[in-house]
């Protein structure tokens, strides 16, 4: 075969069998037995710990050993534990939307029918496709689904805003936990670390009863909105907004998903109420400095063509609360407090409407939308004259953000 050296006789490539003194049958059997028992014991141990501590709170309905622990790790696993909650709780009323809905809308609000189970299915950073799939998941588990409250945000309809990595199509539409989820939440390093954190936090936490049920119905208000750091959170989240949503294009696909949500509800006799989040005015200012005002208005028009939408955005008596260290209405520029969530629910559920400020919440229809958008524009110019400092705050943040972007590119 000449000098070509890619040469191996087959005996060379075969695994050499063990040479030397013959080991007894027993040695290998003992090795195997010990190896497998180590593996089985450690796996059983780890999964038992994860099952009992249950850091993501997904076994609470089927766990006789369920320890009464606070589950802080749940906070970042909406997509996992809310899927399982829907399977177990089978709510007849659900609140859909993003973290704004998740942190603001209380399922125990008296405006909801008392004989129905209400669940907050708000999911951090969700987009319209995800919301549609979670709606279908809820219906698959509760064909008697009666009412859906849907909070929408402008970012959800951004063509550049993709599904998050933690979204898993496979777990939805099922009436049981998937094998993958079961394995991951029992036998994984992540789950073990989450269990460790859960135990640690419980040891250091002073327990109170509210904490024990924190998130049980999917509702996760900010724990300490009055910690005096609100101003810091405002600048931080405005910057985050610039970072996460650098580009924007109003998406046909997302509008189509929205349409599918509306049609799904119509077809299945589910009452659907849609509203735009009452974020703080600085959120609309952030839209303005990134040249999205037109698309913001266009988005509202497009939605109203499909269904009437409650608009809580704009420059009203709630959203114009001046930025201070301790605020009543806001945790940061986009997340409102449960108190404001109650007012939203009052308005859209027609419950004690007299407690809600007159200018908070407007039902947009194709007939009145032009006038409504014009009113927001004029509200804005009136507000900007009074709150010049907040206008400048957002403009400065944008300028600094652009500068840091450029220097990073260098």
- Positions in the binding site for other proteins (CB under 8 A): 1-8, 10, 13-16, 18-19, 23, 25, 27-32, 34-39, 42-43, 46, 169, 179-180, 183-184, 187-192, 408
Distance of alpha carbon 40 from alpha carbon 256, whole angstroms: 49
Residues 6+ apart with CB under 8 A from 82: 121, 123, 134, 218
Residues 174-192 as b/e (b if ≥16 CB within 10 A, e otherwise) read eeebeeebeebbbeeeebb
CB 332, CB 236: distance < 8 Å:
yes
Closest CA to 295 of 366, 361, 247, 253: 247
| Ramachandran angles phi, psi of 21, nearest 5° | -70, 140
What phi, psi does 250 have (nearest 5°)? -60, 125
Residues in the chain: 410
Q: What are phi and psi of 108, to 5 degrees?
A: -90, 10
SS3 state of residue 250: strand
- The separation between the first and the last C-alpha atoms of the chain, rounded to the nearest angstrom, is 56
Q: Are 131 and 111 in contact (CB under 8 A)?
A: no
């Amino acid at each position: 075969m000449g000098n070509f050296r890619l040469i191996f006789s087959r005996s060379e490539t075969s695994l050499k069998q063990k040479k030397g003194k013959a080991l007894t049958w027993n040695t290998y059997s003992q090795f195997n037995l010990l190896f497998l028992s180590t593996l089985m014991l450690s796996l059983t141990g780890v999964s038992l710990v994860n099952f009992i501590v249950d850091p993501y709170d997904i076994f609470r309905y089927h766990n006789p050993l369920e320890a009464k622990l606070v589950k802080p790790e749940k906070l970042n696993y909406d997509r996992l534990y809310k899927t399982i909650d829907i399977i177990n709780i089978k709510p007849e009323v659900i609140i859909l939307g993003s973290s704004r809905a998740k942190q603001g809308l209380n399922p125990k609000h008296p405006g909801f029918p008392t004989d129905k189970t209400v669940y907050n299915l708000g999911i951090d950073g969700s987009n319209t496709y995800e919301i549609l799939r979670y709606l279908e998941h809820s219906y698959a588990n509760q064909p008697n689904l009666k009412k859906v409250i849907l909070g929408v945000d402008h970012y959800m309809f951004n063509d550049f805003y993709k599904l998050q990595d933690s979204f898993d199509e496979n777990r939805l539409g099922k009436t049981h936990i998937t094998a993958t989820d079961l394995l991951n939440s029992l036998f994984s390093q992540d789950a073990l670390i989450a269990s460790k954190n859960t135990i640690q936090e419980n040891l250091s936490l002073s327990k109170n009863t509210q904490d024990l049920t924190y998130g049980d119905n999917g509702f996760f208000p900010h724990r300490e909105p009055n910690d005096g750091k609100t101003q810091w959170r405002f600048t931080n989240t405005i910057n985050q907004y610039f970072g996460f949503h650098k580009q924007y294009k109003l998406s046909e696909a997302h509008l189509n998903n929205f349409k599918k949500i509306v049609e799904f509800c119509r077809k299945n006799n589910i009452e659907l109420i849609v509203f735009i989040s009452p974020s703080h005015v600085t959120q609309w200012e952030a839209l303005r400095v990134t040249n999205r005002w037109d698309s913001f208005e266009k988005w509202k028009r497009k939605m109203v063509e499909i269904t009437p939408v409650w608009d809580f955005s704009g420059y009203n008596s709630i959203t114009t609360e001046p930025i201070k260290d301790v605020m009543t209405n806001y945790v940061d520029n986009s997340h409102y407090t449960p108190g404001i969530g109650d007012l939203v629910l009052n308005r859209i559920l027609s419950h004690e409407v007299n407690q809600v400020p007159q200018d908070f919440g407007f039902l947009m229809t194709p007939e009145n939308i032009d006038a409504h958008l014009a009113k927001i524009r004029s509200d804005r110019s009136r507000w900007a004259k009074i709150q010049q400092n907040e206008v400048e705050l957002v403009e400065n943040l944008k300028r600094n953000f652009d500068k840091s972007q450029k220097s990073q590119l260098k």
